[in-house]
Amino acid sequence: MSITTQAEYDQAKATVRTAAAAYYGDSLLMADTEYDRLLAAVTAAEAANPAWAGNDPVGTAVAAGALPPGDVTHVVPMLSLDNVFSTDEFAAWAKNRGEVEFAVEPKLDGLAVAIRYQNGVPAQMVTRGDGLAGEDVTFAVPAIVNLPRGNGYTGEVRGEVIFTRDQFETANALREQHGDKPFANARNGVAGALRGAGNRAYVIPMSFYVYDVVGLPIMTHHTDAMTALSGLGFADAAGLTRFTGAGSALDVAAFIREFESSRADLPVETDGAVIKVDAYRYRQAAGESSRAPRWAIAYKYPAAEVTSVLRAVHWQVGRTGVITPRAEIDPVEVGGVTVTYATLHNPEDLARKGFMLGDVVLVKRAGEVIPRLEAPLLARRDGSQTPIVTPSACPRCGGRIDSTQARPRCLRGSACGVTEAISYAVARDALDIEGLGKVQVGNLVAAGAFIDVASIFETGLSENILVADGQVAPANAPKIIAQIEAAKTAPLARVITALGIQGTGRSLSRALAKHFGSMAALRSASVARLAGVDKIGTVKAELIREQLDDLADVIDRMAAAGVIAADDAAPVATSMGHPVDLPTAALAGKTVVVTGSMKGALAGLSRNEVNELIEANGGKAGSSVSKSTSLLVVGESAGSKLAKATELGVPVVTEAQFAAMVGRA
């Protein structure tokens, strides 16, 4: 956007300041991207027309959503960062820096603070304010759970106070318990939590991640200083990478492209990366403007959080009869794609967050294919909003609803969601019957050819039926028949997945198959034995036991049709249909994590299929790298997991080496 008149400038400046104030309260006026665009337009107008601002420019005070100035002067100004939004823009910025070394770290959006230590004790905490002076918020120090104490350090550290993903959930749960509205998002929420810490009867846990220091012994590089702070117990910005050599700018550009997908694995949310000149002597040569240093830049990814308007709510029935709301919103670009529908979780979530039709809402897409609605922006209600009506009967069949749980469910269960249930059963990570998409399955259900998962295998399904009733292309019909026949010998874990047992998924289905070894053993398992399976407690075990009883007829009919006919034989471990000798399994007792996409001998395998391969060879598939990880398998476009493994000394192998280990080279 552009500002062309004094009146437009005055209005935009007032809106920026109102939005900045709301950001650090318990409300939100606009998404970060809207704020960034508006602020950029205001500052550009000030630069082109200095007389418009007079003695009251927007300047540093709101450049990054800063708090109002306080009465504590900063030893060294706390400046904001300029932004770039593409690798081309970054390359242009880097070219002006010359051939220097760079340090790259995730961009964490919380509340920037300076913490002054005396003999290993945090003695004072000050907000950024206007960059020259900030507010004293020392009263909130006890709520920051990861601050080191007793390390003997005297000096000043700077960084972001943030919510980790888990802490944000905890914060909103605590607010609801005490009758407060949940925070709209983690970034504005942590500011509200910190500023209100002195007036609240309960403590909301927060974290501090350091990104700068004032007062350490003289060092030559930023990365060395951060290593020293890490040794004193400070959490760094969830990972710090150093790039050296003549091509370091190109390496940085490649890294930030890869990091865009891997950042979802971090315990904190990040919307970009911060690139800094590593050597302090080059920083001094680059200098700084009145608002931002010239030796650092923030690379921001396409907006993962934007605003739109909630127009309608559609109620859908899932494969197990669970009824979920789906939001229809005004088309908006988020995360690089244009969306008109978003997830709304469940009716309890609707009521808890107070959504109404016509609300301006925060739409988020960070790591998920389907965006979700985070919260309504209450400050932008104008009285035209109307309540959302939740269904009193199943929206598909009109039957009764079980509303005793967070997610209401049609009492007919999978009989109501049969199209979804069968589509789930024939998907790649279950029975893998290619050619039977949701449209074809829906046609066959409507024609009466499919009534449940067992009917896929029962006699009578012919090429003619697939073509006439399923509207399958004639050339594909014989292929589908062959795949259905092949699916009769699918590994036990995939058959369990195909049953769609409520409370399980691909991972738990593999755990059940590994623990019991046969369908017969699983069907006869008591609640106590089910509860003994990894990641299955008593509550989930009771649900699985009930579901197995409900599915008894389906399982019997599948067995009669030739599926899992070898149940009573000694269990044989398989991977994608290939037997594996477990006593000599290469991965016995190892926890294996995979990152990146598989190529070569393992090309085309989904993450679930790779996890099956790990478990079939005696290993345990992990999702994140930790000290207990035995091995990291690195595919193409590996990201933060590789850096974490290197930091912890976890052994790393390529995809080709891994394929050789498990006999798939």
**Rounded CA gap, 24 and 294, in Å?**
27
Q: In what order do the strands lie in the sheet with 111-118?
A: 121-127, 111-118, 155-162, 207-214
Q: 138 near 80, Cβ under 8 Å?
A: no
- CA-to-CA distance for 579 and 556, rounded, in angstroms? 25
- Per DSSP, 235 falls in state B
Tokens, residue 656 = 């080709």
For the chain, the straight-line distance linking the first and the last C-alpha, in angstroms and rounded, comes to 55
Helix then strand then coil, % of the chain, to nearest 5: 40, 20, 40
Cβ partners under 8 Å of residue 160, min gap 6: 108, 109, 110, 111, 112, 113, 208, 209, 211, 237
Q: Residues near 43 by Cβ (< 8 Å), separated by ≥ 6?
A: 58, 63
> Residue 428: CA atoms inside 13 Å, Cβ hemisphere, count?
7
Can you read off the two tokens belonging to residue 582? 């477990």
The answer to whether 339 touches 435, Cβ cutoff 8 Å, is no
Assign residue 602 a region (left: φ > 0; alpha: ψ between -120 and 50; beta: otherwise): alpha
Tell me the C-alpha distance between 143 and 139, whole Å. Answer: 9
SS3 sequence, 368-385? CCCCEEEEECHHHCCCCC
Of the CA atoms within 13 Å of residue 422, those in its CB half-sphere come to 27
Backbone angles phi, psi at 362, to 5 degrees: -90, 120
Phi/psi of residue 348, each to 5°? -60, -40
Least Cα distance to 639 among 265, 203, 214 occurs for 265
- Reply yes or no on whether 95 is catalytic: no
Catalytic residue among 13, 95, 107, 641: 107
> How far from the centroid of its chain's Cα atoms is residue 623's Cα?
13
Cβ 491 vs Cβ 513: under 8 Å: yes
CA distance 590 to 650: 12
* Helix (H) / strand (E) containing 545: helix 538-550
Query: How buried is 594 (Cβ within 10 angstroms: 0-12 exposed, 13-18 middle, 19+ buried)?
Result: buried
What tokens appear for 432 in the block? Answer: 């893998």
Contact 172, 113 (CB under 8 A): no
Residues 6+ apart with CB under 8 A from 373: 310, 327, 329, 342, 343, 344, 355, 361, 362, 363, 364
**What is the rounded distance in angstroms from the CA atom of residue 220 to the CA atom of residue 130?**
29
Residue 276 and residue 102 in contact, taking contact as beta carbons nearer than 8 Å: yes
Tokens matching residue 292: 């931002």
Q: Is 96 exposed, middle or buried (0-12, 13-18, 19+ CB in 10 A)?
A: exposed
Measured CA to CA in angstroms, residue 537 lies from 501, 502, 551 at distances of 15, 14, 21
Catalytic residues: 107
